[in-house]
Amino acid sequence: MTEKVFTDYFFDKTAFNVHDAAYVPLVVPEVPETKLLIPSILKPDKETATDAWYTLTAQAGETQMLPGAKTKTWGYGTSVLGQTIVYQVGKHNHVTLQNQLPELTTFHWHGLGVTGPYVDGGCHAPVYPGESKTIDFTLNQPGATTWLHPHPCPSTAEQVWRGLAAMVIVKDDSENGLNLPHDYGVDDIPVILQDRFFEDDNQWDYRKRYDPDGIQGPTPVINGTVNPVFDVTTQKIRLRILDGANRREWRLHFSDDLPFVQVAGDSSLLPHPVTMTHLMITCAERAEIVLDFKDYQADDTVTLFTDDTPLIQFKIHEFSANHTTIPERLYTIHTPEVDSNTAIRKIVMSGMDEMVMLDGKKFEMERIDATQPIGLEQYWDITNTNDMKDGMVHPFHVHGTEFLVISRNGKAPYPNEHGYKDTVGVNPGETVRIQVRFYLPGLYMYHCHILEHEDGGMMAQIQSFEPGQPLPQYELMNMDKMTAALAKERGIDPKDLWLGGMESYMKMGMKM
């Protein structure tokens, strides 16, 4: 039987971000090739058979990205991005969060099933400069590629733009036992896709380049590296790809139209491998793919592109033959039935620029928009009301859990969307049905993951709760407290404070 190879990007072409009036094309600068930075793995301070202790530090630094001046950047335990964190399912983790930045931040575990709002790390979990907080959690979820980023509304976009983002790998026995590449940094490679605008002095000026529909830069930056190359020493490699950009979509393909196999999405392995030549991921989505270089020899080069822009050159060296095959069955999805009497939650993402809203409202920190009991399986219908001709794809994300994509406008989801996800791109004029269940009590956000859109108000909050129990009360951050703290840390009067997301509220006469 001939293997089916998918050769398109699935998403609506009319909604690709290249059609935006403010689209910024990518251009690789004429700078020397640099070895692709592979972030080191964060080592635990202490570890036993049941527990692990970590210290995670948000800090400012400088990074040599281009010839000339170093770029002032922020990172987790390093100058930019962060060390890769590896958690084992079932182990109890104790994490000390340290903030050595000049202003408050939060530590959001995007894709981890942890309690909210304080462990989850949304806007209600600030860690102030010079402060440390300790959280603990035990993961009970599939193995997956997840990530860590700040979430201090409405300054999430700026802090990610400054460099705060780290890959978080969740390992479980099922994934560990599969015949997939597992040697981190050799054949199991993190690929964090971002773009930046370098000013004349090699610095990043977020305010200068601010765009309420999402800031984009002309320079691709991969794992904090410009014009990267990777030395291939094995026949097969696994790429853990993260769209860590504020706004940009990535339409990925390789030279020679080299086919690759997607084995995982956001929150789990796929039930079956999917062979393709083209892959589009939207903001915050992840995809794990396996490449096979069996038809290449030493000194050959294979290039990863987005559209027509080269991103990474894979330089082939001698390797040993690898005749192993990817299993046809990777993961079994158990889909509990949704009670026909359970109401369908309707969620509407509307607008562009400063007009973005969720369900006709902008986000308010102290407003809880919805509730859902723990364990209840519920359909959520996510609608993007943007015009199909001039609109944009909105990537929809839910904190604290994973979901299943059930349908797109009543039809089957894309072939690579049959595993668990936490982020899904919704085309203009489209309704995507997802099946959501919360496992833990807490207060969680759900929002568009174009970072400037969430900062600009396309976000809401849901509280999951134990059935039959009173709703817990949480101490919630509010905008006055947030702006007062940031103004004090920046040494300015609150009335002079500029935050990109606040412009969306002010231009619509609203208060966050």
Neighbours of 57 (CB within 10 A): 17
Quick one: pLDDT band at residue 436, thresholds 50, 70, 90? very high
Q: Rounded to whole angstroms, how far apart are CA atoms 379 and 483?
A: 36
DSSP 218-278: SEEEETTBSSEEEEE-SSEEEEEEEE--SS--EEEEEGGG--EEEEE-SSSEEEEEEEES-
pLDDT at 2: 55
Q: In the numeric block, which tokens belong to residue 393?
A: 């794809």
Q: In the numeric block, which tokens belong to residue 294?
A: 């069996």
Residue (of 18, 10, 8, 20) closest to 391 by Cα position: 20
Q: Is the peptide bond before 154 cis (omega within 30 degrees of 0)?
A: yes
> What domains sit in the chain, N to C, each tagged with a CATH number?
40-171 (2.60.40.420), 188-316 (2.60.40.420), 345-472 (2.60.40.420)
Share of the chain above pLDDT 70, in %: 99
Summarize the confidence of residues 164-169 as an average pLDDT: 98
Share of the chain above pLDDT 90, in %: 92
Neighbours of 368 (CB within 10 A): 14
- Tell me the whole-structure pTM to 2 decimals: 0.97
Number of DSSP helices (H) and strands (E) in the chain, helices first: 6, 34
Question: What does the buried/exposed string (b/e) look like for 284-322 if buried means 16 or more CB atoms within 10 Å of the residue's CB?
Answer: bbbbbbbbbbeebeeeeebbbbbeebebbbbbbeebeee
Bigger pLDDT: 510 or 444? 444
Quick one: pLDDT band at residue 1, thresholds 50, 70, 90? very low
* Tens-digit pLDDT profile for residues 454-502: 999 999 999 999 998 888 999 999 988 998 999 999 999 988 999 988 8
pLDDT at 20: 86
Q: In the numeric block, which tokens belong to residue 11?
A: 């998403």
* 361 contact partners, CB below 8 Å, separation of at least 6: 369, 457, 460
Q: Rounded to whole angstroms, how far apart are CA atoms 176 and 143?
A: 9
* Tens-digit pLDDT profile for residues 103-131: 999 999 999 999 999 999 999 999 999 99
Summarize the confidence of residues 227-248 as an average pLDDT: 98
Asked if the model's pLDDT at residue 200 lies above 70, the reply is yes
Summarize the confidence of residues 392-415 as an average pLDDT: 97
Give CA angle at 444 (386, 409), nearest 5°: 35
* Tens-digit pLDDT profile for residues 411-420: 999 999 999 9
With beta carbons less than 8 A apart as the criterion, state whether 403 and 445 touch.
no
* 324 contact partners, CB below 8 Å, separation of at least 6: 179, 236
Residue (of 384, 380, 381, 379) closest to 349 by Cα position: 384
Question: What does the buried/exposed string (b/e) look like for 23-48 if buried means 16 or more CB atoms within 10 Å of the residue's CB?
Answer: ebebeeeeeeebebbbbeebebeeee
Q: Indicate left, alpha or beta for 224 from its phi (over 0: left) and psi (-120 to 50: alpha).
A: left
Segment (H or E) for 109: strand 108-110
DSSP 3: P
Asked if the model's pLDDT at residue 353 lies above 80, the reply is yes
Give CA angle at 458 (453, 460), nearest 5°: 140
Neighbours of 343 (CB within 10 A): 8
| pLDDT, the chain, mean | 96
Parallel, antiparallel or unpaired: strands 228-232 and 309-316: parallel
Bigger pLDDT: 3 or 471? 471
166 burial via Cβ count (<10 Å: 0-12, 13-18, 19+): buried
**DSSP bridge pairs for 191:** 241
Q: Rounded to whole angstroms, how far apart are CA atoms 239 and 264?
A: 10
With beta carbons less than 8 A apart as the criterion, state whether 202 and 70 touch.
yes
Asked if the model's pLDDT at residue 133 lies above 60, the reply is yes
With beta carbons less than 8 A apart as the criterion, state whether 262 and 287 touch.
yes
DSSP 18: G
3-state secondary structure of 19: helix
Q: In the numeric block, which tokens belong to residue 491?
A: 């040494």
In SS3 terms, 52-83 reads as: EEEEEEEEEEEECCCCCCCEEEEEECCCCEEC
